[in-house]
Amino acid sequence: MNDDLRQEQIARINIYALISRLTMSEVDEGLLKLIEEDENILSFFPTYKEWKKREELNRKDLIEQYLNVDFTNLFLLHLVPYESFYTREDQMMETGGDNPVQAIFNAFEFNVALDKARVMSADHIGIELEFMYELCKAELKALEANDMEITKQLSQLQYGFMRDHILEWMPMFLLNVKSEAGTAFYYDIADLALEFTMSDFEYLTKLKEQEYKYAT
């Protein structure tokens, strides 16, 4: 297995894991410490890195006084982090079994514990990103087993899910988060998620084009 390809895949897994976690629930002290003390991760948070509140407050107070408040405003109160809200003409969330994202998850036995995740529907931003994370992990496993047919199928599934679901609504939501963010931390999260999903789709598109080229 090509080591560059393996490292690329590990990087994709790590970023999907990070942005899924940070858009699903509030940050805790352990995760914030990890972000701040790992220069590679902190490089994804350039605005937060220079934010003066970091110097004025310890992590606990920073989280309780600023970050948790901002998360609540952005993901629970003022904005709606669900695909169906953006894609349905009536802007109503689809919380039942007719949700097309839930149907995809069911087909691939991707189980979503809505109550544990504190979300109302499977098409929440954090869950859709977690689905991509799981697909990337499965692809790495197939790559390491040198099973190129499964690798190709998983890559195509990621491409299709990005095209038909994530890119249909997530960029608009993330732009709204950037606009409404009250902290440098969530501004950077939205910017990272936006830039990464767009670049990852470009990466998946190139893979698909290469597969088509060699197939013909």
- The CATH number assigned to the domain holding 152 equals 1.10.3480.10
pTM for this structure?
Answer: 0.90
pLDDT at 31 over 90: yes
CB contact burial 109-145 (16+ within 10 A = b; e otherwise): ebebeeeeeebebbbbbbbbbbbbbbbbbbbbebbee
Determine the average pLDDT of the residues in 44-54. Answer: 96
| 175 Cβ neighbours under 8 A, 6+ residues apart | 190, 194
Q: Which domain holds residue 122?
A: 3-215
Q: How many independent structural domains does the chain possess? A: 1
What's the pLDDT score for residue 213?
46
- Per-residue pLDDT at 16: 97
Residue 54's pLDDT band, with cuts at 50, 70 and 90, is very high
Locate 41 and state its tokens: 């991760």
Lowest mean pLDDT among 25-34, 112-121, 128-137: 112-121
pLDDT tens readout for residues 155-211: 999 999 999 999 999 999 999 999 999 999 999 999 999 999 999 999 999 887 776
pLDDT of the residue at 93: 60
Q: Which residue has the tokens 């994370």?
A: 133
Write down the pLDDT at residue 111. Answer: 74
Q: Look at residue 114 and tell me whether its pLDDT is greater than 90.
A: no
Across all residues in the chain, what is the average pLDDT?
89
- pLDDT band for 215, please (50, 70, 90 cuts): very low
Q: Which of 160, 196, 109, 148 is nearest to 5 (CA)?
A: 148
Q: Please report the pLDDT score of residue 116 as a whole number.
A: 64
